[in-house]
Structures are given as structure tokens and as C-alpha cells.
Chains A and B, each alone.
Chain A
Amino acid sequence: MKSGDARALELFYARHAGAVLALCRRILGDSGEAEEATLDSFVQVWDRAASYDPRRASPVAYLMAVARSRAIDRLRARARRPHPIDWAGEAPAPTGTPDALDETLLAERRERMRAALGALAERERHLVELSFYQGLSHREITERLGIPLGTVKTRIRQGLLRLRDRLRSAEPGGERP
């Protein structure tokens, strides 16, 4: 893509558009706006391909971080907040992706994270998700839920540490709790 090859963008899109759209839906809770955020994300990656530094992030990590930012930008730009999406109600994964090995690794990573999230206490998972997927500050979460600021901070941090430890222990040959 750095050389302006539109076919490379199309391949990149075919491989990752599903994940980007899912993330945008998770954040925005609106399929129309999520599609716009997805489009914005790929256009931004294309526009800035020349300045992409592979030492800082892998292409997919870069794309997903851009998508999160674009979706949260849209979330903040509108007055209302999204309807939460039920994990079980999401669309199934597309089949026949161009790179089966990459997809397999990403799918394994996804499953590990979903399992780790599912194992968190509800009070921690909810705050981690509000912080990460909706970009809410500690103070905004406090105002929304009526929980003390210190409690919000502590629960998010504890949740993140538990996620990290569970992911490590779930890796092949990883640590055991």
C-alpha cells in the first residue's frame, strides 16, 4: 500500500474488514454508522500508508487502533450513546478469507480474549468495556454509573491485570495461575 497499490488495499480490506466492522459495531451499536467508521478507517490507513512504521505496530494492530479511534470519534460526536450489543447476537465469521493461516491465528487470539473477558467478574468486565470500547474516562464512568472514582479506577486496573494473566496462562506453554 505504501506504493499506492489499490489492489493491496483491496486485499487488506478483504482480510480485515469483518473485524473492523465488528469492532465499529461494538463501539457504535449502529450498523450504518459502523460502516461509515469502517470506511473512514481504511481510507485513513490508505492515505497515511507512506508514514506507517512497521516497528511501532503490525498492520492489523495499526488498522484496528485506527478503527477504534474513528468509531469513538463518531460516538463522541453524537449526543446519544449506543445500545449495547449482545455478544451472542453478532454475525458469524465470514468464510473463505484470503489468508487462512493469519485468520486462524487471529481467530485463536480472539477466542482466548473472549474467554478471558467472559471469565472476568461482571463488575470488572463492564467497566473495562466502557473504558475501552466507548472511550469513557474514569470520571465519565463515575457519572454514568454512580460509582466512586477510586472504585472505577481500581476495578478497571484489576480487570486488565486479570485479563493479562488469563491470556498468558491460555497461551500454549504459558504460565499457569
Chain B
Amino acid sequence: MSCEERRDAILFWVMGQLEPGPAEELRLHVSGGCAACAAHLAEARELELGLLLAPLPAEPPDSLRRRLVERIAGARAEVPRLAPARRLRARVAAIAAALAVALAAGYRLGGARSGDSTGSAAPADAATLAEELAAAREALEESDAELGGLEASVRDLETRLAEAREQIRLLRAADVQRLALAGSAAQPSARAEMFWQWRDGYYCYLHVEGLRAPPQGRVYVLWIEDDAGERRLVGEFVPDAAGGAELWVRIGGEAGHARAALVTLEPAGAGVPAGEVQLTSG
């Protein structure tokens, strides 16, 4: 396409009438310093401004100018008080986002190690997350008593960050073991993956999708079955509204090799697997 041919396309681009692909091509071309297309762009901007200015000017009421002055004055007064809060909120949001990325990346990596073709991303850098957390603490020190709620959020994120680090470490470990669990007839849409590793204890991470909400007074319970066929309680959990759940447990003592895993539906506090099997690794 010649630059003369781009003239129309530039007009359509400026006026929001061009599809994203051709628009991006034009943007790259114009930003490359083409003088002819820069002139076409200026021409299109003139037309845009003409349309913006086309309505005959109105007479704004005096109250509007007063309100503008008040808004500006109010914003100035608020800035010193709210700036730390805004920074901290932004920091908390950044940590939360980083945490989500870390967990997602770690989970995908776990899938990749176990042969899941969808796994590809590297886990987020824990050091970066730590820096974010340190910066959040620094911002917190600048804030006042109004920020108590946000402080609690940071502590919660700190806990979750520590858990995320452990999960990522587990999923990245060369000797991590994986068991895929399929839903039984009672839960045909459910599926889960359990990752486990023996270090100074038995570390287990369960990721579940597609579970129905449990009946009142019941919880889902994850059990592992060792080489001797003995079932051992790992933990209880309740899925969220979307049917998803995660369970992260460290069990002390020697648990041996987990050759199988299963999830049953039990009354809270059950010590032995007596309920109906919901998910099993087979």
C-alpha cells in the first residue's frame, strides 16, 4: 500500500472505523516517521476536531464554574491524606495480581512436568514478589490509622505469598509426584490433580474443579492410600461457588509412598473414609 493509499485508511483509523489489525499496521508505519502519513494523520485529526467542535457552544451556568473550582480545591485537600492509601491499595493490588500469576504459572508448570501439553510458563520470580511485599510494607509505614483494613489485607497476602512460594517450590521440584483424579458417578464433571513430595514431611497440593456444593454439614475429604493399602487423612475442603478448590497440606511423620488418592464426602471431622467416593485416582 502506498502512502497516498494510506490516506483514507488513516482517516478511518482516527475515526475508529478500522479493524485492530490494519490499525496496528498503520500505527507502526506512522510512528516510523513517514512524513506523508504524518500529514495525513494531522488532516484526519483536524476532521475529528471539527466534529468535536461542530455543536454550537452552549452557555455554561455559573454554578458549573463554581463546582469546578470546588472540585479542584477539594482534590488538593485530599491528596496528602489519600496519597499513601492510594499507593498502598495499588501495591496490594499488584501483589494480588503477582500472586495469581505465580499460582497459575506454578500450576501450569506442574502440569508440564507430568506430561500435560498445556504447561509452558515459567513460575513467577519469588524474589520479585518479595520486593513487592517489601514495598507494600514501606508504603504501609507511611499510612495512618485509616489504613487498618488494608494492613490486614497485606498480612493476608503475606500469608498467601508464603504458601504460594511453597507451592511453586513443590511444583518445580524434580521429584514431585502427580496423581490425576477423575470424578465418580456421583461427580461426573469433577476432576482434580494432586501433587506430592516427601521432604521433611509430606507436602501435598490438590487442585480441584467441577465439584458440586456439599450437602449441609458435609465436607469433602482428601485421603491418600500408601503401598500397604492404608488410607491416611490429608485434609478437608469445601469448593467455592464455581466448584473449584485448592488444598495445601504438610503432614508430619512418615507417610510412605502415595500410590493412590481419593476424595470422599464426609461429616466434618471424620477420621476414617466412610462416605461415598467422589473423586479417585483409580
Contacts and interface: CB of A to CB of B under 8 A. Distances in A.
Interface of A: 6, 9-10, 13-14, 17-19, 21-23, 25-26, 35, 38-39, 42-43, 46-47, 57-58, 60-61, 64-65, 67-68, 85, 87, 90-94, 106, 109-110, 112-114, 116-117, 131-133, 153, 156-157, 160-161, 163-164, 167-168
Interface centre among B11, B61, B72, B73 (most CB of A within 10 A): B72
A163 to B, nearest CB: 6
9 contacts: A6-B69, A13-B68, A21-B57, A23-B55, A26-B55, A61-B49, A109-B53, A133-B51, A168-B43
Interface string B48-65: 111111111111110011
A160 B8 CA distance: 9
B75 interface: yes
A92 B68 contact: no
Given A43-B68, A157-B12, A35 B55 contact: no
Contacts of A26: 54-55
A99 B81 CA distance: 38
B170 to A, nearest CB: 44
B45 interface: yes
A9 B43 CA distance: 28
A131 B17 contact: yes
B16 interface: yes
A35 B60 contact: yes
Interface in B108-154: none
Contacts of B17: 131, 153, 156-157, 160
Given A18-B57, A35-B64, 16 more contacts: A6-B69, A21-B58, A22-B57, A22-B58, A23-B53, A35-B60, A68-B52, A85-B55, A91-B56, A92-B59, A110-B53, A110-B54, A112-B50, A113-B51, A160-B17, A163-B51
B71 interface: yes
Contact of B12 (A68, A110, A114, A160): A160
Contacts of B60: 17-18, 21, 35, 38
Given A60-B49, A110-B53, A17 B15 contact: no
B47 interface: yes
Contacts of A85: 55
Contacts of B199: none
Given A18-B59, A91-B56, A94-B57, A39 B64 contact: yes
A93 B56 contact: yes
9 A-B pairs with least C-beta separation: A18-B57, A113-B50, A64-B52, A22-B55, A26-B55, A21-B58, A22-B58, A90-B56, A17-B60
A48 B50 CA distance: 24
B24 interface: no
A116 to B, nearest CB: 8
Interface string B161-193: 000000000000000000000000000000000
A18 B16 contact: no
